[in-house]
Structure 1
Amino acid sequence: MLQRVVGMPSFLFLVISTLAVFSVTQAGVTVDCGKNSVSVRWVDVNSQVDPSLLRLGDCPPTQVSVNSQGSEAVFYAEFLTCNIRRLVTTNEIRFETEITSPTLSKATPFSYPVACAYEREDDWVPPLYGPLLFHTHGQGDLAFGMALMKDDFSGVATTTTFSLGSMIPIAASVAQQNHQPLILLLDECLASTTSELAPDSHVYPLITNKGCLVDSKNANSTFLPRNQWSEIRLSLQAFKFATGEDVYLHCRLVAWDPRDLDGGNKACQYDRTSSRWVLVDDPSQSSLCSCCDTNCQGRKKRGITADSTAVNAVIGPLVII
C-alpha cells in the first residue's frame, strides 16, 4: 500500500521495520540512509553556487563551508520532515527528495535525486492514523491521516485488490490538537495509473469541484455518516478505469471551520432518487451543492484558510479486477 503527501509527502502513514543502513556516493554527493533519517553531503570543487542556498527538499543545510578546496553542504533530515516523499509498494518502503540549487545564481540550476529504499516485510500494513504533520502558520501542527479500510471500518485493509463493482472503503482524519473544532473535507480525489500526477496522466475523476462526489452520479459511491467532524469516510464503487493495473488515488484533504461551510468547502453527493445534489453534513443547506454541475467557488475565512490547512495525499497501489 502506498501513502503519500504532496506539498507534503507522498504516503500519509509510515511504519518502518528491520531497515538496513547503507551509503551511496556519486558525483560529489554522499547519501547515508539511517533507520528514521537521511544524511547527505554535497561537495563541489568548481561550483559557483553558494552552498547555503542549496535545499534538501525544502530544508536548508545544517552545515556549510567554503574554502580553497571547494564548497560543501551537509544536510540531516528525519523522514517526516523537509517535504520528503514516502512511497510504500509491495516490496519496499522508499523515501525520495532532491538537492536543488537556487534558480538565481551564476551557475546553471540543478536538481540531484536523493533516495533511501528499505525492504518491506510481508505483513506490513500502515496504521490508520499515523502522523503526517503539517505546519499551519503559528496555529500549531495538524496531523492528517488516510488509509484503505476493512469493509466495517474496524481497521486498515489487509488487501489492496478489489473486484469490479465491489466497494472500496476509505477513511481520512485530522487530529485537531490545540485548534478550534475542525471539519475534515475531501476537496478533490482522482484515480491515476501513476503515483505522481503529470499533465499527460491518465486520470479518472472521483471528487471534483471542491467537494462534489461526481462518482456518485453514475455509480454507488457515497460518503458515509460521520462519527465525528474530524473524520470522513468514503465508500467508492470499484470502477472500470485501468482494470488489472496499479491504480493510485490522489486526494486533497482540507480542514475547515464546521460553522462556515460554503460552495468551496463542503461534502456533496448526488441523490439519484431525487435527481439533486445533497450536502452530506446538513441536507437543509444543499443549496451549497447547486454549483456541482458548474463551477464552485468559496471564500477564505480569516485565521483558517484552505491554503493553510490542506494536504495532498496518495493511496495505492490498488488493483481492480
Structure 2
Amino acid sequence: METHFSLGVVIMAVLAAAAFAEPDIKVMCEKDSVNVLWRVGPQFVPYAARFFLGSCMPSRWTVLPTGEGEAHFNYKFSDCRFIKQFKGKHIMYQNELSFRPQAKPKPAVFKYPIKCVYKRPEGWVPKFLNPGSGASSGRSKLVFHMALLNEQLTGVAKTNVIPLGSFIPIWAAVEQKAHQPLLLLMDECVAATTPELQPGSQVYPIIGNNGCLLESRAGNSMFLPRYHSSAIILYLQSFRFGLEGEVYIHCNLVVWDSNELDQQRKACHVKDHGRWELLDDPSRSSLCDCCDSVCAARNKRAAEWVESHSRSFKTVLGPIIIVEPSSVSNTTSPESGFAFNTEEMAQS
C-alpha cells in the first residue's frame, strides 16, 4: 500500500510539472485584499484540498462543464501569511500559490509568486518609526535613536544574526518636538569588533568624508528614500569584516538645517548609473563630487556658523553577527543587548 501511495505521488508530481508549465492564473489586487483564479485540468479536480495560497485553501472551488476545475482565492492581506514589505514609496504584499500532493513538511511540487504593489500614502510611516511619536524628554534636549530593523522595515529586528551578502537595515532618528525641523545625517560610520573604539581598534569604514556612503561603491548598499527629515535608513549589505564574530556599528549622527546642505553636511551614495547622488536632492549631486577625494573644509566664517547650528552625537549599534548563509539555522541570537540604542543629548 505504501509503495502504491509513493508511486502515486511521483506520478502526480510529474503530471503537475507538465500541466503547470504554463499555469492559467489570474490575479486581481484589491484595496486590502486579493482575488486569485487558478484554472486546472480535470486530473486535478479530486485534489482540490491540495491547492493553497500561502496557508489558505481555496475560498471556493468550481467544476466547469469541461471537467476542468477553478480554485478561487479571495482573502485579505491579513490572512494566509502574506508578507508585507516597504520599499521606497511603495507597500508590497507577497505570497505564493502552491500545489502540495502531500502534507507538510513534504515540499510543494509547484509554486507561483503572488505580488500586489501599492503606492504608500503620502506622509504615512509605521508608528514606531515616527521620531516624534515617543515620549519627549523636554525642551532642552534632543533624543537620538538607532536600531536594527527587520527585513520588511516594519519593526525592530528580532534577531541580530545576518547572513553574509544580505542587508542590514539600520534606522536612525532624532526626536525634535520642541525644535525647528531638522535633517538627520550620518556623518561617519565604521564597523568594529568591539563596543568601544580605542586608538588601536581595527575598523572597517562604511560612511566617511562627511556623509559619503563608501560601501555603495563596491556593493549594493544605499540610503533608502526618506519618510521624514529627522530619520534616515542605511540599507547596508553585509560584509566579511568580523565574520562569525560580533560586529558593532559606530556612527556619528548630525542634525542640520535641510536648506544648508554642502560638502560637509550631506548624505551621498552611488546609484545604478555608477555616479554619486545626493539623497535629499539629486539635482544638487555635485555636492557629492568630493566623495572620491577629500571634501573641502569650510572657511572660518562658515565653520563658526556650523559650530552654533549643528548638533552631533556618537552612538553604537550591536552586536551584529554576520555568518555564512549555511550557518544561519544553527546560530542563535542573544536575548538582549542588541539592535536598539536610545540616547539623549543636551543642547549647548
Do structure 1's residue 158 and structure 2's residue 158 form an aligned pair?
Answer: yes
Q: Which deviations, in whole Å up to 9, do the C-alpha atoms of 1:150-182 show, x marking residues without a partner?
A: 112211111000000001111111111222111
Q: Which deviations, in whole Å up to 9, do the C-alpha atoms of 1:260-304 show, x marking residues without a partner?
A: 000000000012x43321101111000100110111135447666
Partners of 1:199 and 1:220 in 2: CA distance: 30
Q: Contact 2:254–2:310 (CA<8 Å) still a contact in 1?
A: no
- Root-mean-square deviation (CA, aligned residues, Å) is 2.4
Task: Return the offset for 1:132.
Answer: 9.9
Q: Where do residues 108-257 of structure 1 align in structure 2 (5 Å cutoff)?
A: 140-257=140-257
Q: Contact 1:246–1:318 (CA<8 Å) still a contact in 2?
A: yes
Q: Contact 1:254–1:306 (CA<8 Å) still a contact in 2?
A: no
Task: Return the offset for 1:249.
Answer: 0.3
Partners of 1:189 and 1:306 in 2: CA distance: 23
Q: Which deviations, in whole Å up to 9, do the C-alpha atoms of 1:184-212 show, x marking residues without a partner?
A: 00001100001111121111111000000
Q: Which residue of 2 aligns with 1:105?
A: none
Report which of the two has the higher share of helix: 2
> CA 1:233 to 1:240, structure 2 compared with 1: closer, same or farther past 3 Å?
same
Q: Which residue of 1 aligns with 2:283?
A: 284
Do structure 1's residue 313 and structure 2's residue 315 form an aligned pair?
Answer: yes
Q: Which residue of 2 aligns with 1:63?
A: none
Aligned residues: 190
> CA 1:228 to 1:257, structure 2 compared with 1: closer, same or farther past 3 Å?
same
- Residue 290 of structure 1 aligns to a residue in which SS? helix
Q: Which deviations, in whole Å up to 9, do the C-alpha atoms of 1:102-154 show, x marking residues without a partner?
A: xxxxxxxxxxxxxxxxxxxxxxxxx8767897x9xxx8311111100111221
Q: Contact 1:191–1:204 (CA<8 Å) still a contact in 2?
A: yes
State which drifts further: 296-305 or 284-293: 296-305
Q: Contact 1:254–1:310 (CA<8 Å) still a contact in 2?
A: yes
- Residue 291 of structure 1 aligns to a residue in which SS? helix
Q: Which residue of 2 aligns with 1:266?
A: 266
Partners of 1:132 and 1:263 in 2: CA distance: 32
Structure 2 residue identity aligned to 1:316: G
Q: Which residue of 2 aligns with 1:295?
A: 294
> CA 1:206 to 1:232, structure 2 compared with 1: closer, same or farther past 3 Å?
same
Structure 1 residue identity aligned to 2:260: D
Q: Contact 2:190–2:207 (CA<8 Å) still a contact in 1?
A: yes
Partners of 2:213 and 2:280 in 1: CA distance: 14
Q: Which residue of 1 aligns with 2:25?
A: none
Task: Return the offset for 1:253.
Answer: 0.4
- Residue 220 of structure 1 aligns to a residue in which SS? coil
Structure 2 residue identity aligned to 1:279: L
> CA 1:132 to 1:289, structure 2 compared with 1: closer, same or farther past 3 Å?
farther
Q: Contact 2:136–2:177 (CA<8 Å) still a contact in 1?
A: no
- Residue 286 of structure 1 aligns to a residue in which SS? helix
Structure 1 residue identity aligned to 2:179: H
- Residue 187 of structure 1 aligns to a residue in which SS? strand
Q: Contact 1:255–1:306 (CA<8 Å) still a contact in 2?
A: no
Instruction: For structure 1, list consecutive stretches of 5 or more residues without a partner in the other structure.
Output: 1-126
Structure 2 residue identity aligned to 1:214: L
Partners of 2:182 and 2:244 in 1: CA distance: 38
> CA 1:297 to 1:307, structure 2 compared with 1: closer, same or farther past 3 Å?
farther
> CA 1:308 to 1:256, structure 2 compared with 1: closer, same or farther past 3 Å?
closer
Partners of 1:306 and 1:236 in 2: CA distance: 32
Structure scoring higher RCO (CA < 8 A, sep ≥ 6) equals 1
TM-score by length of 1: 0.55
Greater gyration radius: 2
Structure 2 residue identity aligned to 1:148: L
- Residue 247 of structure 2 aligns to a residue in which SS? strand
Instruction: For structure 2, list consecutive stretches of 5 or more residues without a partner in the other structure.
Output: 1-127, 324-348
Q: Contact 2:211–2:268 (CA<8 Å) still a contact in 1?
A: yes
Structure 2 residue identity aligned to 1:318: I
TM-score by length of 2: 0.51
Identical pairs, percent: 48
Q: Where do residues 22-171 of structure 1 align in structure 2 (5 Å cutoff)?
A: 140-171=140-171
Q: Which residue of 2 aligns with 1:22?
A: none
Partners of 2:242 and 2:156 in 1: CA distance: 24
Partners of 1:216 and 1:168 in 2: CA distance: 13
Partners of 2:143 and 2:305 in 1: CA distance: 18
> CA 1:295 to 1:303, structure 2 compared with 1: closer, same or farther past 3 Å?
closer
